[in-house]
Amino acid sequence: MEKKPAVELNRSLGLWSALSIVIGTVIGSGIFFKQASVLDYTGSTTNALLAWLCGGIITLTAGLTVAEIGSQIPQTGGLYIYMEKIYGKIWGFLAGWMQVIVYGPAMIAALGAYLAILIVDFFGIPAGYSHLIALVAVVSIGALNMLSNRYGASFQIITTICKLFPIAAIIIFGLFFGDANALGQSVSTVSHSTSNFGVGILATLFAYDGWILIANMGDEIKNPKKTLPRAIVLGISLVLFIYVLVSFSIMRVVPADQIHQLGENATPQFAKIAFGEIGGKIMNIGVIISILGCMNGKIMTFPRIMWAMGKNKQLSFHKQLSYLHPKSHSPVVATCVALSIAAIMILFFDADRLSEICIFTVYCFYVMTFIGVFILRRRNKESHLKRVFSVPLYPFTPIVAILGAAFVLVSEVQSDLIGVLISFTIVAIGIPVYLYESHKNKNL
């Protein structure tokens, strides 16, 4: 009997699909609701715009650095694979462990919960149905992603285009019809002694996060050595451009003090001023679609880490976790497990808080990955390997990326020491799990 060929991931994602995943997983709700917090932290509209710009530049340096690494290691698993290839199996396992057990499912659950709040408010549904709506949304998008990756990618492209319509409307109205001076306005209730430009940048960095998830799809991208760097760099550049223009446009229409008073309602208020009462409804629809796209991107990408770890026999039930459906070529078991953990978090935990707790260790692995570009360059020099993509302005660009991530780490220690300790504990639990699985499968 002839041996059946092994089922492999479907390499069908081109540049547009990869680009929509980068943009779609970054632009969620942050740009719509973070305007007031960034303005309050920085104290003036000029400083707020600079904070959005600086956060984008730091993110772009991170993206350029990872683009060079990704072009050399274009495999499914992203951060997990990069850490393993650069530092060894245990470091890769710990990066993957933290993402598949807590961070990834918590991000999915938090988006589901927030989506439910918006849907309940928009349709006037009793608040008691929030958990059910969140679960239905997560399961529905999860089911879509158990089909061929073309369906998830198509949904990502559609939602990304749809979310760009309200963004374009904000920018066009603000630029051409706003009559306020977007520069130089100060928030009268925020004194210069209490404003903190660094914290403002930190708030924008969280709004820019998510771009690295495209690296989890390495084995499903056409010509990944070239497409992956292009998608990361172009995607982050477009998001930076959008974020700064949206912020500038809102400040052209809504005065700084009013943005401060409105808080998270500043952007909906802009929509009402620009397009009347119906504008607020349209804006809510735009945000709902935006969150759906962001959730789809995360459900599409995070289970790939679990699949890759299962393929490398680093998790219990690795045969099941590394299973690919013979027709869809999708990691259906890994997706089901990730969604099950997310569902438990929706029902019994504060998922948003869990995702915040993991930020510290995520950025620890970011720093190690950014440093990895120096290690890979040394290895390449020794083995005479040529790079497909080289980070511009080396070594300045990766140094900025490292400093930006280090800034987040210091800020997290100062603001949430308990969360940092919990974050470390989650990672530390992974050490005996790794040793047990390695011994069991003789992979030490």
Contact 326, 56 (CB under 8 A): no
pLDDT digits (tens, 9 = 90+) for 220-248: 999 988 999 999 999 999 999 999 999 99
pLDDT of residue 194: 47
Question: In the prediction, which pLDDT does 341 show?
Answer: 95
Question: For position 382, which CATH number holds?
Answer: 1.20.1740.10
For residue 7, tell me if it sits in a domain: no
What's the pLDDT score for residue 8? Answer: 83
Say what the pLDDT of residue 156 is: 93
pLDDT of residue 183: 76
Q: What is the pLDDT of residue 444?
A: 47
Distinct helix (H) and strand (E) counts, the chain: 19, 0
Does the residue 208 lie in any domain?
Answer: yes
pLDDT digits (tens, 9 = 90+) for 359-406: 889 999 999 999 999 999 998 887 767 788 899 999 999 999 999 999
What's the confidence (pLDDT) of residue 34? 80
Residue 1 lies in a domain: no
In angstroms, what CA-CA distances link 389 with 67, 228, 380?
Answer: 7, 10, 13
Is 2 part of a structural domain of the chain? no
242, 27 Cβ separation under 8 angstroms: yes
Would residue 119 count as lying in a domain?
yes
Residue 143's pLDDT is 94
- Residue 29, domain member (yes or no): yes
Single-letter residue type at 301:
T
* Residues 6+ away with beta carbon under 8 Å from 31: 167, 207, 242, 243, 246, 247
Q: Give backbone dihedrals phi and psi of 174, rounded to 5 degrees, phi first.
A: -65, -45
Number of domains in the chain: 1
48, two tokens? 């707020």
Provide the residue range defining the domain that includes 130.
15-440
d(CA 45, CA 107): 30
* Predicted local confidence at residue 193, as pLDDT: 44
Residue 140 lies in a domain: yes
- Those residues of the chain that have pLDDT short of 50 are 1-3, 192-194, 444
Q: What is the pLDDT of residue 190?
A: 53
Residue 103 belongs to some domain of the structure: yes
